[in-house]
Amino acid sequence: MHFLIHFINALFNPVTYFFTSVIGFGAMIRYREKWTEPPFALRILIGVLAVLGLSMFNDHFREISTKSDNVPIFLMVFSVGFFTWLSFRQAVVNDRRLSQGQPPVEKETSDKKVYVWPDLVYIEFISTIVAGVALMVWSLALHAPLEQAATPAWTPNPSKAPWYFLGLQEMLVYYDPWLAGVVFPSLIIVGLMAIPYIDKNPKGSGYYTFNERKLAIIPFLFGFLILWVTLIFLGTFLRGPGWNFFGPYEEWDPHKVVVLNNINLSEYFWVKLLGMGITNLNPVVRELPGFALLGFYFIGLPPLLTKKSKFLMGLLERLGVARYAVLIFLGLSMAALPIKMVLRWAFNLKYIVSIPEVFFNI
Amino acid sequence: MADFKDERAYESRTLTQWFLWSSLALLVCVGLMAYLDYHREWKYYQRRFMTLQRIQDRKQLSEINANADVAQYKELKSELREANQDLKAHEDEISKLQNQEASLDAQMYKVKNLHYQILKAQISADVYSYGEELKNGKNDAGLKKKIDGENNEADALNQQIFQIQQSHDEAATQVADITASRDQIKAKLTKLTADYTAVRTKIQSLSFNWLFYFRNAMLLDFMAPTLQIQQVVLKNLPEDLYFAKTMRVDRCMTCHQAIDKKGFEDAPEPFRTHPNLDLFVGANSSHPMDKVGCTICHGGMGPAVSFNGCAHVPNDEVEAKEWAHKYGWTNPELEGVQSVMAPLKYTQGSCLKCHGSQEYVNFAPQLDRGRQLMATRGCLGCHKVKGLEGLTKAGPALYRVKGKLTKDFVLKWVWSPKSYNTEARMPSFFQQSNNSDPDSLSKNKAELNSLVDYLYDKSEDYTPSEAAPPGSVSAGKKLVKEIGCLACHGIDDVTSHHADFAPDLSAVGSKLSANFVYTWIKNPQHFNPDTRMPSLRLSDKEAADITAYLMSKKNPDFDQAEVPNFDPAVRDQLIVEYLTPQLGVGGANAQLTQMDEHARQMYLGEKTLNKYGCFGCHMIKGFETAQGIGTDLTSPPWGSKQLGQLDFGFTDPEQIPHTHAGFLAAKLSNPRQFDKDKVVAFKDKLKMPNFYLSDDDREAIMTAVLGLTDTYVPDEMTAGIHGNGRLLEKGRRVIADFNCRGCHLIEDQGGEIREMYNKEGIDLSLAPPNLKHEGEKVQVPWFHDFLLGVHPIRPWLHIRMPSFPWTDEKIDAVITYFNLNDDQVYPFQKFVTRKLTGDDYRQAQQLFTQLQCQKCHVLGAQVPKDLNSAAPDLLKVHERLKPDWVVDWLTNPAAMSDQNTRMPGFWPADEPAPSKTFGGDGEKQREALRDYLFMLGNGQQ
C-alpha cells in the first residue's frame, strides 16, 4: 500500500503527468470508436469514481480535494469529460453513417421546428430554474471559503490565481510574465478570433463529425484539454506551497525542498560546449545562440517542414500562403509551451534568451 | 394554441412536466434556505437559558412569598374592600364628575388640537409669506392685518384652553378627594406586592406561549423576535485588519447569557456567571462589558455565533475530546483562524495587551509569576520581550569569578548544575536529549573546558577582605531562618517556605570558601559593587555563625564527582569546524597549527561563549551589551506567530499538539526534543538549555509568552503609560528588581515569607508589614532617610529590614511610587498639628492613659513588659507618620492593615466612645490623641 501510494505520487510528477496526458489525448483520438461506446464509457466512469472513492481514504488527498475551492474543479472535470464524450459519441455515430452512405443523425429531425414561443422561451425559462436550483444547492452545501484577513506579513502559500487562470499561472513557471501573461493570452484570443477566417472547410455544419474536421478538432482539443483543462487540474490539485509539485497523496508541506538548478541556453552553448567564460560577454553576443534558435523556429522551420511534409504542402495549396502562414505561426506559438516544458524538465533549461539587464527573457 | 404537433420538435406536455418538477425543486430549495438561515445554534441556547432563568425566578418568587407579610396583605385587602363599600354611596357623584371630565377632555381636544394648533401653523405660514413679500419690496398691509387678527384669535383660544384645563383639574381633584382613602390603601398594596409583581411579569415574559412562537416563527422573525443576537460594539478597541481598522464587535453574550448576571455561578456552561464580576464584565467593575467586551481578553472571533465559529480552544486534550463529542469541535488554530481563543488557563496572558507596560498586573498572579520567572530564570537573557528590557541579569557577574570559585567547581557545575543542587537555577546545557551521544559529549566537554579557561582568563583577581572566625552552626541556622535571608534564598533545612528569587543555599558549602561567605554577607558590595544582595547589618558574631552554618551545607556526592576532562584532538577538530566556512578546510588547519595551546583554548572559549550566549545571564567583561542569542519573542509577537513558523520537527502530533501552547509546553519541558530524528550538524543543534521547570512554573511562563500578541490596542486603552503611570512603573521596577514583595505585601500581592509565619503559627503582626497605605502613612523625609540608612522601627523583631545599596534615584522612585499609589499628589508638605493647651491637653493625656497605649507601645525609654512583641515607639510618630493617616488608623486599624495588626480598634462603629473625654465625641478624641502624640515627639508639654 505504502509502495503504491509512493508510486502514484511519483507518477504525478510534471513530466509523466504531462506526457501521460498527451499520450492519453492521442489514444482518445485514435480509439474513439471504442471508448465512445456507452458500456465502455460507463466502465471508465465507474473506474474513475472508484479510484476517487478509494483515494478519499487518504488524509492528504481528502484534505485537498474536499476544500470548498476545489470541489467545483471536480465538477468541471466531470462535465468536460461528459461533454467531450457526448460530442465524440455523436461524431462517431455520424461518421459511421456517413461512411455507409447514410445522412447524419441530425438529418432525421431537421424538418421539425422549434418555435420561439412557446418552445424556446419555455426551455430557457426551465433552464434558468434548473440553474438556480443548482446554484442554491451548491451554496447551501458548500460554504464560501472565507480566509483570514490579508496581511502583508503573511501571504497565503500557495498563492493561486482564480481557477480559470491556473493554466496561465502554470505558464508563468516556464515563461516570464510579459510572455506568459501578455503575449500568449493575446495570441490565444487573436487565434480564436482568427479561426473562422482560416477554416475554409464547409463540412460538419449542423451535425457532429470528426473525420470531416480533423484539422479543426485536434488542435483545438489539444489546446483546450491539454494546455488548459489539465493545467487547471494540475494547478489546483498538484501545485502546493512554494508552487512545488505534490503527488495526490502527498502532504502539502510548506518546507518541502526540491532541487531546482536551471541553466540558460547561453551557458550551455558558451560554457559547456565551447568552454568559454561568459561573464564579460556583451549580452547581445552572449544571447546570439538563443536568438538564432528562435529565428530558426519561427522562420526557418516552417518552410523546411512544409517542404518535407506532403500533408502540409497540401494544406498550403488549399489555404493559400497568408492563411497558411498565420496557421503555422499560431501552431508554433502553441507548441512553444510544451516544448519549453520539455526543455526545462529534460535539460534544466531556464531561458533560451536571457537578458536580465533589460528584463528580457524568453 | 394551434396544434403544430407534427412539425414541432418539442412537446408542450413534456416541457410542462419539466417545468413542474424544476419549480418544485426550486420551492424546496427556497424552503431549505429559509430554514438553514433560521435554524441557528444560538437560538437553542437562548431558549435553554429562558428555562433556566424561569426556574431561578420561580425560586425567587417562592422566596418572596415565603417572606411576604401575609397578615398585612390580608388586612390591606379587607380595608380596600371596606373602602370600596364606603364609596358606593358616592357612586353617582363620582360618575357625574367623571362624565364632566370626559366632556372637558373632548372640548380640550377640539379647542387645542383642532383650532389653536392649526391657527398657530397658519400664523407661521402667513408670517413667512409676509416676509417674502417684504423681500420683494411689497408691503402687503392686508396680510399684516390678517396676521394681527389671527394673533388675537390665538390669544383668545389660549385663554379658553386655560379655563378648560382648570375646570378639568377641579373635577379631577374632587374625584381624588372622594376616593383618597381608597387610593392610599391601593398604593400601599402595590408597594407591598411590587417585587412579586415584577418577578411575576418577568416570568410571564419568559414563558413559551403562543406569542413567543409567533414572534420567533420562521420568516416572521424579522419583525420583533425575542430571540436575538446580542452584541457590544467597542469603539475604543478596534480590530486591526492590517489595511484597515474596524470596530470590535463581541457577540459572546448571545449564548453566554448569564455572564453579567449574578446567581448563575454554578449553572452549566455556557450559562455560567463570570467568576470575577467585581473586576470584569460587571457594570461597576474596572473592565465593564460595554467598554472592554470579551475577545480582547479571551481572544476568539467576536462576531461569530456558533461554537466552532468563535474559535473556542480547550484547556487540554481531555476537554478537546469532550468538545469534539459534544459540539463537533475542530481545532481552529490548525484551520488558520485569525484570532483563536486563549485556553482558559492561559487567559491571564491577555492582560499584557493593555497592561504590558506595567511591571506587574496584580490581578493576574499567574502572569506576574511568569514574567518574574522570565527575569529570574534568565529567559530574558536570550529572548527579547517588550516591556521587560534592561532588567538586571539573572545570574551573578563573572568579573571576579576567579576569586570566588574553583575551576573544578565551575566545570562540574556547568556540566550538570542539578547534580550540585536540585534547586539550582542555572539551566542545563549538556547531557540533554540531543547531545548525549558519545560524539557530542566529547565535543561538549572540549567546549566547556575552553569556555571556563576563557572566563578565568578574563576574570579579575579577588581576595575576600576578612577571614572568617569560627562560629556556631546552630546559631547560624537560627539566624538564617529568622532574620530574613529566606525572603529571597531557599534552603533545604526550612520546608515551610522556599523562595527562589536568589540562589538556593542548600549546598553552598561545596561552592564557596568560608572567607568569601563571611566577607560577602557582611558586605556584599565588596565582591560585587553592583550586586542586589543587601546587607542585613550583621555583627561579626552573627556573620561568623551564619558562615559556619552555610559552610556546613555541603553536597558530598558533588564534591567527589569527576571533573569533565576533554580531549585536545576534539577541541582542535571543533576549532577547524569554526574556521572552515571562512578559510576552507585547508586554511583552517593551517590556522590551527599557528595557534598555541592557550590561543586554542581562548578561540574555542569565545566561540562557545557566543554559541551558548552565557552573557545573557552573566556580566562578562566585553560582553555587557551583547545581544541575546534566542528568538525575539515580541517582534513578531510569539503568540501571534504563524504556526508554520514553528518547527515541530518530526515530533508526533498526537503527543505534542501542533499548536502554540503545544509547542511551548514541549519546548519548556524538553527544549531539545524538536531535534529528534533530525539530520543536523553539531553546531546547528538546538541549544536552549533545560530549566527543569515545575508544572506550575511552566504554565506561568507559557501564560506570559502566549500573551505576547499583535492585537492592536490604542494608547488611550493602555495602562501604565499615562499621567503618573510611568512614575508608578519606575517604582514598581525597583520593587520587583529588589524583591520587596518577598517580605512585604504590596498592592495586596507578595509577602511570600508570611507563608512561613502562617505554617509555623507565628503571629503575622511580627512579620514584615503590609505596605498598603504606606504612601498615606509615612512622611517623605522620614521615608527617604529610612531607605537611605535603615534604622529599625521595631528593633526587637527577629526579621530585619535589609539595607539596600540604593542610590537616590531608586529611593525616589520607590517613595514616589508609594505616594502616587495612595493618591498623595504633593507629599512634600510640612505637617503642622494643633498644639493642645489647658483642658484639651489634660483630657488628651487622660485619654492616652485610659487607652493604655503603653501596654504595647514603646515610648522612648519606657518599654512594655513583653518587649519581643512590642509595638513601635510613639515618640517617633511626629517625624514618621502623616497626621491624617494617624486618625484613620485609630479609627479602624483592622481595616487599614487588612486584619494584620494587634492594635485594637477603640472606636468601633455604632458603639459609644471608650472615654468620656471631649464630651464622648470619638472623632475629637482621635484627633486630640494624634495631636498629643505629635506633641510628645516634639518634646512639648
Dump pLDDT digits (tens) for B16-55.
999 999 999 999 999 999 999 999 999 999 999 999 999 9
Instruction: Indicate whether A199 belongs to any domain.
Output: no
Which pLDDT band holds residue A26 (cuts at 50, 70, 90)?
A: very high
Asked if the structure places residue A24 within a domain, the reply is yes
Any domain includes A27: yes
Nearest by CB to A136, which of B15, B33, B338? B33
- Is a pLDDT exceeding 90 seen at residue A1? no
Kindly give the pairing relationship between strand B280-281 and strand B287-288.
parallel
Phi, psi angles (nearest 5°) of residue A245: -85, 135
**Helix/strand/coil for A245:** strand
Look at residue B16 in the predicted model and tell me its pLDDT: 92
A41 within a domain of the structure (yes/no): yes
Strand partners, B246: B239
Q: Among A144, A160, A192, which residue terminates a domain?
A: A144
Determine the average pLDDT of the residues in B101-109.
93
pLDDT of B868 strictly over 50:
yes
- Tell me if chain A has a CB within 8 Å of the CB of B1: yes
Q: What is the pLDDT of residue A205?
A: 86
pLDDT tens, B704-735?
A: 999 999 899 999 899 888 888 888 888 999 99
Confidence of residue B792 (pLDDT cuts 50, 70, 90): confident
| Residues comprising chain B, all counted | 941
Structural domain that includes position A19: 2-104+207-243
- pLDDT for B6 equals 66
Instruction: Identify the pLDDT of residue B5.
Output: 59
Residue A201 lies in a domain: no
- Phi, psi dihedrals of residue B8, rounded to the nearest 5°: -90, 140
- Residue B770 main-chain phi, psi, to 5 deg: -75, 130
Whether residues A68 and A211 fall in one domain: yes
Tell whether the model's pLDDT for residue B941 goes beyond 60. no
Q: Is residue A270 domain-shared with residue A328, that is, in the same domain?
A: yes
Report DSSP letters for A283-317, one per residue: HHHHTHHHHHHHHIIIIIHHHHHHHH-HHHHHHHH
ipTM of the prediction greater than 0.95, yes or no: no
CA atoms within 13 A on the CB side of B291: 12
A313 and A349 both lie in a single domain: yes
Task: Report the percentage of chain B scoring pLDDT > 90.
Answer: 58
* pTM of the predicted model as reported, rounded to 2 decimal places: 0.83
Is B29 within 8 Å of chain A by CB?
A: yes
**Domain presence at residue A235:** yes
Residue where a domain terminates, one of A144, A168, A193? A144
Is B650 in CB contact (< 8 Å) with chain A? no
State whether A136 and B30 contact (CB < 8 Å).
Answer: yes
Q: Are the beta carbons of B12 and A118 separated by less than 8 Å?
A: yes
- Tell me the C-alpha distance between B273 and B265, whole Å: 5
Partner B, chain A 112-151, Cβ-Cβ below 8 Å = 112-115, 118-119, 122-123, 125-126, 129-130, 132-133, 136-137, 140, 147-151
Nearest by Cα to B401 from B461, B454, B445, B451: B461
Q: Specify whether A325 is located in the same domain as A288.
A: yes
Closest CB to B15 among A126, A133, A137 = A126
Q: B940 pLDDT exceeds 70? A: no
Q: Is the predicted pLDDT of residue B796 greater than 90, yes or no? A: no
Q: Which residues of B touch A140 (CB under 8 A)?
A: 29, 32-33, 36
pLDDT for B2 equals 47
What average pLDDT score do residues B437-452 get?
Answer: 94
Residue at A46 is within a domain: yes
Tell me the C-alpha distance between B663 and B372, whole Å: 21
What average pLDDT score do residues B348-362 get? 90
Using CB atoms, which residue from B1, B7, B15 is nearest to A112?
Answer: B7
CB B32 within 8 A of CB A139: no
Residue B568 has pLDDT above 90, yes or no: yes
> How far, in Å, are B86, B579, B584, B681 from residue B587 at the CA level?
123, 8, 5, 21
Amino acid at A213: R
Contact A208, A104 (CB under 8 A): yes
Has residue B3 got a pLDDT over 70?
no
Band of pLDDT at residue B695, cut at 50, 70 and 90: very high
- B22/A129 CB distance under 8 A: yes
**Nearest CA of chain A to the CA of B12: how many Å?**
8
Q: Do A318 and A298 belong together in one domain? A: yes
Q: How far is A143 from chain B, CA to nearest CA, in Å?
A: 12
3-state secondary structure of A231: helix
Name the pLDDT band for B869 (thresholds 50, 70, 90): confident
Q: What percent of chain A has pLDDT over 70?
A: 100
pLDDT digits (tens, 9 = 90+) for B118-150: 999 999 999 999 999 999 988 888 999 999 999
- Rounded Cα distance between B807 and B790, Å, is 14
Q: pLDDT band for position B1 (50/70/90)?
A: very low
Are residue A225 and residue A357 in the same domain, yes or no? no
Same domain, A80 and A213: yes
Domain for residue A272, yes or no? yes
What mean pLDDT is reported for chain A? Answer: 90
DSSP SS3 for B236? strand
Q: Are residues A14 and A129 in the same domain?
A: no
For A153, name the nearest residue in chain B, comparing CA atoms only: B242
Are B880 and B791 contacting, i.e. CB atoms less than 8 angstroms apart?
no
- Phi/psi of residue B531, each to 5°? -65, 150
Shared domain for A295 and A223, answered yes or no, is: no
Under an 8 A CB cutoff, do B29 and A133 touch?
yes
Helix (H/G/I), strand (E/B), else coil: B355: helix
| Inter-chain residue contact A113 with B7, CB threshold 8 Å | yes
Asked if residue A329 and residue A297 are part of one domain, the reply reads: yes
Identify the pLDDT of residue A185.
Answer: 92
Q: Indicate if the pLDDT at residue B4 is higher than 60.
A: no
Query: Is a pLDDT exceeding 80 seen at residue B204?
Result: yes
Closest residue in chain B to residue A132, using alpha carbons only:
B26
Quick check: A133 and B642 CB within 8 A? no
Could A111 and B7 be called an inter-chain contact, meaning their C-beta atoms sit closer than 8 Å?
A: yes
Residues A350 and A284 in one domain: yes
Tell me phi and psi for residue B505, to 5 degrees. Answer: -105, 10
Contact status, residue B902 vs residue B856, Cβ threshold 8 Å: yes
Q: Which of A90, A123, A144 is the last residue of a domain?
A: A144
Q: What is the pLDDT of residues A166-218, one digit of tens each?
A: 988 999 989 999 999 899 999 999 999 998 898 888 888 889 999 999 988 99
User: How large is the average pLDDT for residues B620-635?
Assistant: 91
Note the pLDDT of residue B486. Answer: 93
State pLDDT tens for residues B735-763.
Answer: 989 999 999 999 888 888 888 888 888 88
Cell of B549: 552554618
**What pLDDT score was predicted for residue B437?**
92
Q: Percentage of chain A surpassing pLDDT 90? A: 52
| Total domain count, chain A | 3
Query: Is residue A120 domain-shared with residue A55, that is, in the same domain?
Result: no
Over the stretch B658-694, which tens digit does the pLDDT of each residue have? Answer: 899 999 999 999 999 999 888 898 989 999 999 999 9
Interatomic CA distance for residues B521 and B505, integer angstroms: 13
In this predicted structure, what is the pLDDT of residue A206? 87
